[in-house]
Amino acid sequence: MTEKRSLQSLIADNPAMVMLLGLCPAVAATSDVRAALGMSALLLIILVLTTGILSVLQKLIPQQATIPAVFLIAAGVTSVIELLAHALFPSVYQLLGIYISVLSVDLLVFAFGREALSQKTDKALGVSLKCGLLFALILLSVAALREVLGAGSFAGVEIAALNDVRIPVFIQSAGGFMALACAAAVLNHKNGKTNVTAWFSKWTESFTEESPDGEEGSES
């Protein structure tokens, strides 16, 4: 029962589907299942490594330097992963191209990276791993929908029965947003998440700090 509630909470509070963070790789890499699989794997690795490193180094990073620290570490991890992908998986690198570099400033990585600065390492890794796997599942589902309906194929294999009923808009950018909107609507409705204001307020609380006297805001 506890695990079920934990999964429901993870889905309901997932920034990818609530605040639609990480849309750039989601839209760019979901017109083909193979590209979505590669992007999902790379994003998962970058997310887990970034949050793990930030969690370990949290005591060494001053409060005033948290934002640049998150971006620097995310950029460093992304650069290493990009070089490895280029060397070990050239077909994946060719398929994704510049969108691998974009992951260094992906807001999904940034959001969980900032949270990792106030979490224990095991918790930060666990949360980022679960969220990354869920996001990968969403990407693959959206990619399958877009490729089947838009291109009449699956993972590059043509489906003859769909040649005459293809909907080209689904392999365009507009189709990516349409498919993602449908996925977000289904998940948010299933979990009763009809208002994103509460989640947004909770996430942005970390950006505001109270003064030592307990007063907020600037002096008049």
CA distance 123 to 14: 16
Report the domain count for the chain. Answer: 1
Structural domain range at position 117: 2-201
CA distance 180 to 142: 7
Closest to 65 (Cα-Cα) out of 75, 56, 54, 52: 54
What pLDDT sits at residue 25?
67
Assess if residue 12 is contained within a domain.
yes
Assess if residue 45 is contained within a domain.
yes
Residue found by looking up tokens 């909107």 in the block: 181
Assess if residue 35 is contained within a domain.
yes
Assess if residue 220 is contained within a domain.
no
- Which residues are bridge partners to 157 per DSSP? 154
What pLDDT sits at residue 84?
92
Assess if residue 209 is contained within a domain.
no
Assess if residue 214 is contained within a domain.
no
pLDDT in tens, the chain (220 residues): 444 444 554 555 555 555 566 667 667 777 888 888 888 898 899 999 999 999 998 888 888 888 888 889 999 999 999 999 999 988 888 888 888 888 887 777 887 888 888 888 888 888 888 888 888 888 888 888 888 888 888 887 788 777 777 888 888 877 778 887 777 777 666 655 444 445 445 545 554 544 444 444 444 4
What pLDDT sits at residue 15?
55
Assess if residue 216 is contained within a domain.
no
Assess if residue 103 is contained within a domain.
yes
The predicted model scores a pTM of 0.72
Confirm if 115 and 127 have CB atoms less than 8 A apart: yes
**Which helix (H) or strand (E) segment is 179 a member of?**
helix 173-190
